[in-house]
Amino acid sequence: MIPVYYQDEWATIYHGDCREIMPIFPDASIDLVLTDPPYGHNNNNGDLIHNWEKALGQVKRGEAEAGEARPIANDSPEETQTLVAWLFPEIARLLKPGCCCCCCCGGGGGPDPQFARWSLMLDEAIGFKHAVVWDKGGLGMGWHYRRNYEFVLVAEKPGAACNWHGDHRVANVMRFSGIKPTSTDHPTVKPLGLFQRFVGLHSAPGETVLDPLMGSGIALSAAKDLGRKSIGIELDERWCEIAARRLAERSANQPEGMLDGYRSEVAQRAGVRSIIQRKQPRFRRRKS
């Protein structure tokens, strides 16, 4: 029996390796997997994020030495590849037919075309549906082409109509400002609004969302905000602690106006409307 780290009416967190915990869940028991694997870049281990924190002296008070790296588990290129090769078929087993896996993936930069490899792997294990672009705005890190977008790869398990709760006007580019993590954040934390948007599009209230690589629990927070049940698994206890605190502090079913993902959807639709309006032919008044 795997001990539960945190539980409330909506969310359950397991502290441990997803490869040991996911096999306990029954086949076709999950309505949406929303997850964010390690980038495979050794993030926050002497990289730009780490140097940034070092330069700003950002450390948890009383805990770490200034500039101490906070490496992410399974974040070397080989470890990440081994992890996702195990994970995608296991996600296929757990998803109900017609349900989706939304998987964050870095942007288009090399040298390794990870987005292409993961797309093919998701296609083989589950069934590729779409590559959504998360536009982070501004200019990100990188050399020559700077990184200001990332992909969210969407795979759909065949066998039933897609578990889709948007309409036909959902753009495949979504803009949510990227987050510059502080020393108390997960080094690769994702915006809450982005995750609310995927939860809202791919699950109905009361359904179950799984994030097997939970980090600081943004997927679970988004699910709770929207009245979905959720399960998170995380290897590193410090992220379990942050996720549990976040969940304990929030109440379920936020009114729509409080949701970042909802606000963004309204803004995008307003943008579409104004383009359509601008394209209407203009008639000059005839001089009488």
- d(CA 222, CA 36) in angstroms, rounded, equals 14
Is residue 259 near ligand SAM by the rule CB under 6 A? no
- d(CA 149, CA 175) in angstroms, rounded, equals 9
For residue 236, give Cα distances in angstroms to 71, 123, 282, 288.
10, 29, 60, 77
The H or E element that residue 37 is part of is none
CB of 31 or CB of 36, closer to ligand SAM = 36
Which residue is nearest to ligand SAM, using beta carbons?
215
**Residue among 2, 48, 66, 73 that touches ligand SAM (CB under 6 A):** 73
Is residue 38 near ligand SAM by the rule CB under 6 A? yes
The two beta strands, 30-35 and 95-105, are parallel
- Take residue 105 and report the two structure tokens written for it: 């993936």
Residue 158 CB, nearest distance to ligand SAM (Å)? 27
The H or E element that residue 93 is part of is helix 77-94
Is residue 267 near ligand SAM by the rule CB under 6 A? no
Site mask for ligand SAM (CB under 6 A), range 215-234, x = bound = xx-x--------------xx
CB of 17 or CB of 68, closer to ligand SAM = 17
Least Cα distance to 211 among 2, 25, 9, 62 occurs for: 25
- Take residue 287 and report the two structure tokens written for it: 């001089």
- d(CA 288, CA 285) in angstroms, rounded, equals 9
Residue 71 CB, nearest distance to ligand SAM (Å)? 9
Is residue 188 near ligand SAM by the rule CB under 6 A? yes
Binding segment toward ligand SAM, per CB under 6 A, in 47-55, 137-145, 146-154, 186-194:
186-194
Is residue 183 near ligand SAM by the rule CB under 6 A? no
The residues that touch ligand SAM, with contacts defined as CB under 6 A, are: 17-19, 36, 38, 72-74, 83, 186, 188-190, 213, 215-216, 218, 233-236, 239
